[in-house]
Amino acid sequence: MPRTAPRRPGAPTPDRPSLPAAVRYDPERRTELRARTRDDDLVRLRRGVYLPPADASLPFPVRRRAHVLAHMTAVTERLTTAYWFSHTSAAVAWGCWTWRLSPQVHVTQLTRPAPGPPDDVLRRHVAPVPGGDRDVLDGVPVTSLGRTVVDCARLLPEASSIVVADSALALGADPDELTERLDRSGGARGVRRARRVLAAADGASESPLESLVRWQLLTAGLPRPVHAAPVETWAGTFWVDLAWPDLKVAVEVDGAVKYDGRSGDPQQILLAEKRRHDALVEAGWTILRVTFADLQDVRRLVARVEQALRAARSR
C-alpha cells in the first residue's frame, strides 16, 4: 500500500498551476495577430488560438510543463465533445511532479471521436469516466487525483510514475483509494506495473530526485529508507533526506537549484551545508550526496549505498 507519513517542518509541497490565458482569433485583429506572431510575441498552437511563447531561459523541465499547460489551454478553446484532461496532463493540472514529461496533451473521452487530421499533440483515450472520477480545476475538466495517479502508474515508465504517485500522496491522495482502484482494475493492462509502483510510493518524499533515488534503491533490493529522519547534533536537529537510522547511514539529494542563486547567496548556502554535514558526521552518521547526474549510472549509485550499509553493519 502507498505510504503517507509526517513531513519535516517547512517541507515543500507541490504547487498547483493555472492554465495560461489564450488569445482567440478575431478578424478585426488579424493584422495585429500576424505582427505579434511574426515578432514571436505569440505562437499559434491550434486553429484560432494563440499564446505567448515559453521563456527560453527557464530550465527544460519547467519549459516542458509550460508547453503542456499552454497546449491544454489551446485544447479547451477548440475541443467541443465531452472530455477530461487525464494521465500526465491531469497530473500537471493537479500540481504533481513529473519526470521526463511527454509533450503530448492527454484527454479521456467516453466515445471515439470522428476521424480527423493527424494530431501530434493531442492524445485521446476512450474509457468510462464515472462521476467519482471527474473533477474540475479552475473551470477545466480533469480526472480525479486518484484516477490520475492510477492512470499514470499504468501508462508511464515506473521511474516517471513513482514521481507522480509520491507527489500526489503529498497533495492528499488517499492510499486506500489507490489500492481499491487497482483491485477493481483486475488484470487490465499495466495493473501489475502499477501495483509495484504504488507499493513503493511514499508521500513523505520532498522532491522528484528523492523519489527517483528511493525507487532505484528499492528496485535494486536495498532496504526501504526513511524520509526526513531527524538527527540530533551539536549544531541542532537536522532532517536527512533518505536514511537508515539504525545504521546511521543517509543519502542527501542535491538539486542544482539550491546553489544557483535563486535560493539565496550560494556561498552562504555552501557554508551552511558544510556546517550541517560536519555536524552529522560528528554525530556518527555516514552521509552520501547524490545529484541528478548520479542517475546516469544507477549501478554505481546502488553500489555506493550498498557499501555504506555494509560498512555500517560491520561497525
Residues sharing a CB contact under 8 Å with residue 211, sequence separation 6 or more, in sequence order? 97, 99, 162, 163, 166, 167, 202, 205
* Coil, strand or helix at 223: coil
Residues of the chain with pLDDT under 70: 1, 4-12, 255-266
pLDDT of residue 258: 43
Q: Nearest 5°: phi and psi at 255?
A: -90, 145
- Torsion sign, CA atoms 284, 286, 291, 295: negative
Alpha carbon distances (Å) from 136 to 30, 66, 83, 85, 271: 33, 20, 11, 10, 45
Residue 187's CB is within 10 A of a number of other CB atoms, namely 6
- Computed on alpha carbons and rounded to an integer, the radius of gyration of the chain in Å comes to 22
Per the CB < 8 A criterion, the answer to whether 218 and 225 are in contact is no
Please tell me the distance from the alpha carbon of residue 79 to that of residue 135, in angstroms, as a whole number: 18
* Coil, strand or helix at 153: helix
* Coil, strand or helix at 142: strand
Please tell me the distance from the alpha carbon of residue 138 to that of residue 128, in angstroms, as a whole number: 23
Q: pLDDT by residue (tens digit) across 207-251?
A: 999 999 999 999 999 999 999 999 999 999 999 999 999 999 999
pLDDT of residue 3: 72
pLDDT of residue 56: 87
Domain annotation for the chain: domains and CATH numbers: 23-203 (no CATH), 210-314 (3.40.960.10)
Please tell me the distance from the alpha carbon of residue 196 to that of residue 32, in angstroms, as a whole number: 53
Please tell me the distance from the alpha carbon of residue 125 to that of residue 74, in angstroms, as a whole number: 18
Helix H or strand E encompassing 208: helix 208-219
Per the CB < 8 A criterion, the answer to whether 273 and 287 are in contact is no
- Torsion sign, CA atoms 165, 125, 134, 64: positive
Please tell me the distance from the alpha carbon of residue 90 to that of residue 152, in angstroms, as a whole number: 9
| C-alpha cell, 112 | 471515439
E strands, 18-139, where? 23-24, 43-46, 49-51, 84-85, 105-109, 122-126, 134-137
Please tell me the distance from the alpha carbon of residue 125 to that of residue 55, in angstroms, as a whole number: 30
Residue type, 23: V
